[in-house]
Structure 1
Amino acid sequence: MYTLGEFVIENSSHSTEALLRLFSSIKLASKAIHKEVNKAGLTEKIIGNSGITNVQGENQKKLDDFAHRAFIESFKSRNVVCGIASEESENFIVIQKKQENDFKNQYIVLIDPLDGSSNIDVNVSIGTIFSVYIRKSPIQMNLTIEDFLQKGNQQILAGYIIYGSSTILVYSTGNGVHGFTLDPSVGTFYLSHYNLHFPKKEKIYSINEGNYAKFSDGIRKFIRYCQEKKENRPYTARYIGSLVGDFHRNMIQGGIYIYPKTASYPEGKLRLLYECNPMSFLAEQAGGKASDGKKRILDIEPTRLHQRTPFICGPTGLVSKLEEFMIYCE
């Protein structure tokens, strides 16, 4: 059985040692979060609000802050990342290269340290989403905002960690999607899901139907399409409210995830850089498709760190069908 490190060594098309250092950072922070998540019900230090409103205007959970700090410190310690943008920080964070470091420190990381944090207090699956790019600015120059505002199709690595009944790290470097489950008894991630693909038969649609009245005509007609008793329908409605949890289930069982724009969020609610780009990269590598309803997510030109977008991803045929409804109705 492959460990994550062994698998990276045998299957990487990028600098192996640099990638191993990067994954070492991700594993270290994720194991720290795994430990805290598994005792969240036992201590008030972890559950509840921190009393801070983050840059998104949302109440920050205590575990949000813990996860953010865990990843920042872990990336700083491995001498391979030059800059980080986090959903919990207004501006990007520069990591100074250490003198003894022979690496170029060329990686840019964008991260949602704790996706679905509203579910922390009720023991529902939550996760971490990460995205990695090569810096655009010359190595001897200071980082600029353009290093972070890259299209999703420039990602060299994307993935997530889901903290649920087990802790699983899922990633792709452009050669398929692979999942590794943490064995907490030895602290090692082992290959458990090789070359994940969306199943050919769709079963699920995932959307917060409580917002039905706020959806566009195209979205409402697509929901009715999913509920029709025709062919292999109706589909089953499943919605966790954690992007990582919903995406992971849909990739394994076959389903579409929909978070459209509404009157309350005319630009959409999910963040392009921290959530949609990495999940779109994974969706395409798993044989699926990701769209804002009209165009490919990975082709969107970012203009700001905390940019939002409507988001639809899942099996190619089902996403294309939703796009047809939206074009026809709008």
Structure 2
Amino acid sequence: MTTSLAQWLAAQNVAPELASVVASMAAASAEIAAVLRLAPIAGQTGLAGHTNVQGEAQKELDVVSNDIVLKHLSANANVSILVSEELDEAVHMENQGRYMVATDPLDGSSNLDVNVTVGTIFSVLGVDPTKPDLLQKGSAQLAAGYAAYGPATSLVLTFGTGTSVFTLDGSGQFVLTLDGVKVPVASGEYAINTARERFWDKPTQAYVTENVAGETGAAGKRYNMRWVGSMVADIHRILMRGGIFLYPLDSETVSKGGRLRLLYEANPMALLVEAAGGKSTTGHERILDVQPTGIHQRVPVILGSAEEVSRVEAFYAKA
């Protein structure tokens, strides 16, 4: 017997209003998946001719995906604020709901033209709509999730304890396929963009050098490097079979504070990984303990199997 997302949400020990916000993001993700399936035929994989607040070129589907998320959330009376990678400022809805959603509507969109897995990442926080606090630590998240648009569309969710995976079926509904996902404590895989090696800090260089040494190095085991260039794809692999994802602070990103955004990339992914038994860090502190200073703030991101994250933390402690 299959369990639908609606049935699963009803069984969770959370407020129905919060469950409805997650359901709205699931509905938006299902619609985005449908658009992506036909995007090459519709000629929608190219640039939109705009840049977002981070100065990155927007794909047409970045804009389309953002519009879909905005449509679904604005129809939910429980959502009062949307923070999106694609929008300079937070959107304050006419709704007076108690929840804020922070989202990257289409993570990895630079991979669209080569048909590589992309995704939607989101975080849900509680707010007082009359005096909203947009800059809350990741530990305050009430829910987080992502949709991975690959050979199958996977929806991965947590309310802070336990991580579950749903798969989009032929009728457009999400059904539970994995419950209580656990990230393996140890792993022999790491994900990092080695083209940036010349910019890395010493702890990152030391960690990767040790991995490359394999059985002859201090770690005493062989490692494989994996890098998709889509955060959702890399984190989904790590959740399913272990490993570590690293986008550390380096000499080129230090002036910006890092590469990935705290509110709608680092925080939701850190919550999902930690809820599955993994660890997260910036190299100096737990990601979920970072105090945000802006809605588009960037941070270093290191997360995954607990043993591997601890190894990286040890290199930073020695630096």
When normalised by structure 2's length, the TM-score is 0.95
Correspondence for 2:117 = 125
1:108 aligns with 2:108: no
Aligned to 1:294, the other structure's residue is in SS state coil
Within 5 A, what are the aligned runs for 1:100-179? 105-135=97-127, 137=128, 139=129, 141=130, 143-144=131-132, 147-179=133-165
1:290 aligns with 2:301: no
Correspondence for 1:14 = 14
Q: Distance in 2 between matches of 1:173 and 1:318?
A: 25
Within 5 A, what are the aligned runs for 1:14-163? 14-16=14-16, 18-44=17-43, 46-97=44-95, 105-135=97-127, 137=128, 139=129, 141=130, 143-144=131-132, 147-163=133-149
Partners of 1:179 and 1:193 within 8 A in 2: yes
1:192 aligns with 2:177: yes
Partners of 2:185 and 2:278 within 8 A in 1: no
Correspondence for 1:264 = 252
Q: Match for 1:42: what amino acid?
A: I
Correspondence for 1:101 = none
Partners of 1:203 and 1:253 within 8 A in 2: no
When normalised by structure 1's length, the TM-score is 0.92
1:234 aligns with 2:233: no
Partners of 2:200 and 2:248 within 8 A in 1: yes
Q: Distance in 2 between matches of 1:232 and 1:164?
A: 34
Q: Match for 2:28: what amino acid?
A: A
Deviation at 1:315, TM superposition (A): 1.2
Deviation at 1:232, TM superposition (A): 6.0
- 5+ unaligned residues in a row in structure 1: which ranges? 98-103
Partners of 2:201 and 2:251 within 8 A in 1: no
Partners of 2:278 and 2:305 within 8 A in 1: yes
Deviation at 1:24, TM superposition (A): 3.0
- 5+ unaligned residues in a row in structure 2: which ranges? none
Correspondence for 1:212 = 197
Deviation at 1:28, TM superposition (A): 2.1
Q: Match for 1:276: what amino acid?
A: A
Q: Match for 2:301: what amino acid?
A: F
Deviation at 1:193, TM superposition (A): 1.3
Partners of 2:186 and 2:306 within 8 A in 1: no
Q: Distance in 2 between matches of 1:290 and 1:255?
A: 12
Q: Distance in 1 between matches of 2:13 and 2:211?
A: 40
Q: Match for 1:5: what amino acid?
A: A
Deviation at 1:123, TM superposition (A): 0.4
| Identical aligned residues as a percent | 37
2:270 pairs, out of 267, 270, 280, with: 280
Deviation at 1:27, TM superposition (A): 2.2
Q: Distance in 2 between matches of 1:151 and 1:312?
A: 17
Partners of 2:185 and 2:307 within 8 A in 1: no
Q: Match for 1:119: what amino acid?
A: N
Deviation at 1:175, TM superposition (A): 2.4
Partners of 1:150 and 1:301 within 8 A in 2: yes
Q: Distance in 2 between matches of 1:198 and 1:170?
A: 13
Deviation at 1:52, TM superposition (A): 0.4
Partners of 1:126 and 1:242 within 8 A in 2: yes
